[in-house]
Amino acid sequence: MNALEVTDIHKSFSVPTVRLDTVREHILKGFKLRKHFRKYRELKVLRGISFTVNSGETVGIMGRNASGKSTLLKIISGIYQPERGAVYCEMPITPILDLGMGWNPELDAIDNIYLLGTVMGLTLRELKTAKDEILEFAGLQEFSRLELKHYSSGMAMRLAYSVAFRAVRGLLILDEVFAVGDMEFKERCYKRYEEIHQAGYTVLLVSHNPLEIERFCDRAILLDGGKIVQKGSSQEIAHAYVQSLTSVKTS
User: Binding to other proteins by residue 115, rule CB under 8 A?
Assistant: yes
Q: At what angle do helices 124-138 and 109-119 cross, to 10 degrees?
A: 120
Task: Tell me how far apart the alpha carbons of residues 136 and 114 are, in angstroms, rounded to a whole number.
Answer: 15
Stretch 60-99: interaction string toward other proteins, x if CB under 8 A: --------------xxxxxxxxxxxxxxxxxxxxxx-xx-
- Residues 238, 243, 245, 246, CA torsion sign: positive
Give min distance, CB of 99 to other proteins, in A: 9
Reduce the DSSP state of residue 70 to 3 states and report it: helix
User: Binding to other proteins by residue 229, rule CB under 8 A?
Assistant: no
Task: Tell me how far apart the alpha carbons of residues 203 and 165 are, in angstroms, rounded to a whole number.
Answer: 12
Residue from 44, 56, 107, 214 touching other proteins (CB under 8 A): that is 107
User: Binding to other proteins by residue 23, rule CB under 8 A?
Assistant: yes
Give min distance, CB of 30 to other proteins, in A: 14
Amino acid symbol at 187: E
Distances in Å between the Cα of 77 and the Cα atoms of 96, 115, 246 are 10, 19, 32
CA-based nearest residue to 185, from 211, 207, 158? 158
Residue from 127, 155, 172, 222 touching other proteins (CB under 8 A): that is 127
User: Binding to other proteins by residue 1, rule CB under 8 A?
Assistant: no
Stretch 158-187: interaction string toward other proteins, x if CB under 8 A: ------------x-----------------
**Residues β-bridged to residue 233:** 219
User: Binding to other proteins by residue 122, rule CB under 8 A?
Assistant: yes
Task: Tell me how far apart the alpha carbons of residues 167 and 126 are, in angstroms, rounded to a whole number.
Answer: 9
Q: Which region, judged by CB under 8 A, interacts with other proteins, from 116-124, 137-145, 198-206, 212-220? A: 116-124
Name the residues that contact other proteins, by CB under 8 A: 13, 21-24, 26, 74-95, 97-98, 101-104, 106-107, 111, 114-116, 118-124, 127, 170
